[in-house]
């Protein structure tokens, strides 16, 4: 009989208000921890995607630089690079310089001033 009474007292302790409040507080801390873990997991997955994109970009840059290095190791590639950077040419090559005609701009400006006449010219063309 005493054993039965001891068990009943233990059950009363588990059903008391202070014990239930303690369980609720522990449950709230547990839920808060799970919520924070979920937020960190989402942030980590975003950072992973960003790092994968950067990794792909770096791999593309690496491949491009390796191709450029291989190109510079040939004589033709070295010559192209020197021509692009310094504007040098081979012996016997000529140079063409294109200069804009300043008179052409003034003629266009004069035509724009007389729009009425140009309208009729364009109408009867």
pTM attached to this predicted model: 0.49
- For the segment 15-70, what is each residue's pLDDT rounded down to a tens digit? 788 889 999 999 999 999 999 999 999 999 999 999 999 999 999 999 999 999 99
Beta-carbon contacts of 81 under 8 Å, excluding residues fewer than 6 positions away, are 71, 72
Domain, as residue range, for 16: 2-123
pLDDT of residue 110: 54
Task: Give the list of residues 6+ apart from residue 118 with CB closer than 8 angstroms, or none.
Answer: 111, 112
Task: Domain count for the chain, please give it.
Answer: 1
Instruction: Give pLDDT tens digits for 71-90.
Output: 999 998 888 888 888 877 77
Residue 96 has pLDDT above 90, yes or no: no
- Mean pLDDT computed over 78-105: 78
Q: DSSP letters of 83-107?
A: HHHH----TT---------HHHHHH
pLDDT band, very low/low/confident/very high, at 109 (cuts 50, 70, 90): low
Distance CA 61, CA 20 (A): 61
Angle between helices 17-72 and 75-86 (to 10 degrees): 100
């Amino acid at each position: 009989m005493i054993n039965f009474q001891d068990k009943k007292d233990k059950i009363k302790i588990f059903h008391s208000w202070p014990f239930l409040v303690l369980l609720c507080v522990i449950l709230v801390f547990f839920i808060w921890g799970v919520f924070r873990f979920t937020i960190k997991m989402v942030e980590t997955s975003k950072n992973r995607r960003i790092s994968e994109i950067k990794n792909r970009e770096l791999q593309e840059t690496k491949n491009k630089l390796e191709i450029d290095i291989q190109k510079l190791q040939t004589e033709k590639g070295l010559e192209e690079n020197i021509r692009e950077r310094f504007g040098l040419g081979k012996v016997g090559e000529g140079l063409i310089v294109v200069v804009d005609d300043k008179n052409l701009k003034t003629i266009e400006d004069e035509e724009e001033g007389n729009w009425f006449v140009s309208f009729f010219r364009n109408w009867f063309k």
